[in-house]
């Protein structure tokens, strides 16, 4: 078990998300950076659908109430277990009474604290993810607060060899170093987040000059951005005619353009339907990059094709398979004696 020592950190319990319920008006929720959470689960030998803690504000502190293995993935944070530095993308074993402090990231904006076995909260509609708008799932349907106690599903009697591996610790190469960087736009600047985008249904309804601007300019992430969506600031996008649409289904990654002409990228807590026109969609393989874009930085869109989007997702899957293989080499099977 762990006790939350931080308040107003906007941390929530999240897993891979609540799939299959958009048709009923229930959003996906889930980790913004699903790749980071997936790697944390792999390093600890957790089930793929195990829940962890998504942390978007720092510092964040927890106290371990039991001996427990954990891993920190996602944004590159300066973390300490007591006075001992903790490596990111690495397994560490905490002892009862240890206090973990996760500091401000040097890059990125969200990190994930994964616990051995996963965070033990009720499964609601097939997921342990927190749905803040509906106030269900996760820990009482809300962000974590000081004094909350979370239980881990980690086995109390793990094999001695596996316990030794956890004490020694091991890790992997972060995806930003292991995965190829998307082809950069010609005008991309250092520090910009580059993501690949497929043109969407209303793409051809915008002025040619606006379409050129959409790809050529960097779009600033405004302070009005959160898990629901990134509100971007930049040149005004102008349609060729007034676009009036009935509310229709949308998914995370869709880029909508309200009447004021400033794009909004829908994210994990977005409502499942909306009526704004859609100019593009960030491909699934780049949503983890998008999740780590900081407020005040810029996002650069690069046009891609469907085959290229599929290939990018396959490359991401190959990275996870490499991590799974590494873990299989280091961590003894639970079935071994």
Break the chain into its structural domains and give their ranges: 2-176+319-330, 193-304
Whether the Cβ atoms of residue 127 and residue 138 lie closer than 8 Å to each other: no
Per-residue model confidence (pLDDT) at position 188: 62
Q: pLDDT (tens digit, 9 = 90+) per residue, 202-230? A: 999 999 999 999 999 999 999 999 999 99
Per-residue model confidence (pLDDT) at position 187: 62
Per-residue model confidence (pLDDT) at position 181: 77
Per-residue model confidence (pLDDT) at position 333: 52
Whether the Cβ atoms of residue 104 and residue 285 lie closer than 8 Å to each other: no
Residues in the chain predicted with pLDDT less than 50, given as ranges, are 156-157, 159-161, 163-165, 334-337
Per-residue model confidence (pLDDT) at position 151: 94
Domain 193-304 top-level CATH class: mainly beta
Give the angle subtended at the CA of 162 by the CAs of 159 and 165, to the nearest 5°: 155
Per-residue model confidence (pLDDT) at position 185: 56
Q: CB burial class (10 A; 0-12, 13-18, 19+) of residue 99?
A: middle
Per-residue model confidence (pLDDT) at position 224: 94
Q: Which two tokens stand for residue 22?
A: 């958009």
Q: What is the pTM of this model?
A: 0.91
Q: Which residue has the tokens 């293995």?
A: 69
């Amino acid at each position: 078990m762990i006790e939350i020592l931080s308040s107003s950190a906007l941390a929530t319990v999240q897993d891979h998300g609540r799939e299959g319920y958009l048709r009923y008006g229930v959003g996906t929720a889930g980790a913004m950076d699903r790749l980071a959470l997936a790697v944390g689960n792999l390093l600890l030998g957790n089930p793929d659908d195990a829940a962890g803690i998504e942390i978007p504000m720092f510092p964040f502190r927890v106290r371990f109430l039991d001996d427990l293995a954990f891993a920190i993935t996602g944004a590159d944070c300066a973390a300490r277990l007591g006075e001992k530095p903790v490596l990111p993308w690495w397994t560490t074993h905490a002892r009862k009474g240890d206090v973990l402090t996760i500091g401000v990231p040097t890059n990125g904006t969200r990190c994930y604290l994964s616990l051995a076995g996963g965070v033990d909260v009720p499964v609601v509609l097939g997921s342990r993810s927190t749905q803040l708008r509906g106030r269900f799932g996760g820990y009482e349907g809300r962000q974590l607060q000081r004094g909350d106690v979370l239980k881990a599903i980690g086995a109390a009697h793990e094999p001695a060899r596996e316990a030794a591996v956890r004490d020694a610790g091991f890790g992997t190469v972060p995806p930003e170093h292991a995965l190829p960087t998307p082809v950069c736009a010609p005008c991309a600047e250092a520090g910009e987040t580059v993501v690949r985008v497929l043109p969407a249904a209303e793409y051809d309804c915008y002025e040619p000059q606006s379409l050129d601007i959409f790809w050529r300019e960097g779009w600033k992430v405004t302070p009005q951005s959160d898990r629901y969506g990134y509100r971007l600031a930049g040149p005004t996008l102008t349609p060729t005619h007034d676009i009036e649409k009935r509310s229709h289904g949308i998914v995370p990654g869709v880029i909508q353009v309200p009447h004021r002409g400033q794009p909004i990228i829908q994210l994990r807590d977005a409502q499942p339907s909306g009526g704004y026109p859609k100019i593009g969609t960030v491909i699934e393989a780049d949503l983890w990059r998008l999740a780590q874009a900081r407020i005040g930085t810029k996002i650069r869109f690069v046009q891609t094709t469907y085959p290229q989007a599929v290939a990018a997702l396959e490359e991401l899957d190959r990275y996870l398979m490499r991590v799974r293989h590494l873990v299989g080499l280091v961590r003894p099977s639970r079935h071994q004696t």
